[in-house]
Amino acid sequence: MKWLLLILTLPTNNTAARMRAWRNLKGSGAAVLRDGVYLIPASDAHNAAFEEVSRDVIANDGSAYIFPTETVEVGDLGDLFDRREDYLALQTELQQLASQPAGNGTQDALKQLRKLRKNFASLTAIDFFPGELQTQTQDAIQALELQINRQLSPNEPGFAAGDIARRNPLDYQNRVWATRKRPWVDRLASAWLIKKFIDPSARFLWLESPDVCPADALGFDFDGAEFTHVGNRVSFEVLLASFALNQPELSRMGALVHYLDVGGAQPLEAGGLEQILWGLRNSIPDDDNLMAAAEGVFDALLAAFTHKEKV
């Protein structure tokens, strides 16, 4: 394995520059061999990080030298990059959050969880020799995301096994579509998708319970519905696959809906969309009006993604 070595010195009276170098090197994941000597696995990104620190050090009357090494076995060097304590501390925070009473500040708990997932992403970015603790922490985050989302949106469907059948949209026109009342992200996005791309004349029923779904209605996003979670896909993604809606911008929206519904990898736009939908849901008590308001949000998101795909 190849490594990069950074040796630097700074005037002792320049505390600000010393702290800035320390923070940047810590953020890059570099290990400290001794005072002023840092080691990191070789890569273009890590070389750029060392060069940035070097420029700042030199600009503040210090010296900095970067040395690429020949291939060296990891051996004991791997211990310098051990992230065990960081993972255990993160797991402790997750356990504390999971132990909070159900329904006690669910949205606040979701915000805390998003922050912990961001911390996890930052940690994995500098975990150059990942092991079981990374997997355990990832599993704990996903389990807690599912737990909190179930509190936020009761009666969420499980993930059914099986294949997703291809559907002809001509067979799904001018229909009544039914899902659980007080829709959250997957149901709101799915309703928008149905009306926008599948059945423009769709009418929607908001069910008190899935058990009262009319026989002639097309159910979505509840156990036993015509369109619901399959495999690792949420209802929005199942609808995309069912009707062969393969546009890249819709796939990006699918990743957003997936994350906000069941967790996983966090798209950049997730936090903003979550806050907007949460505000709409809390301020609009009528589900038809809520869906109408959410349609504008999803229309704008689609337009933004479509523009980005064309650039």
The 10s digit of each residue's pLDDT in 4-19 is 999 999 998 899 999 9
What distance lies between CA 129 and its chain's CA centroid?
A: 22
pLDDT tens track for 271-309: 889 889 989 999 999 999 999 999 999 999 999 999 765
Q: What is the pLDDT of residue 113?
A: 87
DSSP symbol at 64: E
Rg (CA), the chain: 25
Q: Mean pLDDT of all residues in the chain?
A: 90
Is the Cβ–Cβ distance between 34 and 6 less than 8 Å?
A: no
**Does pTM surpass 0.75?**
no
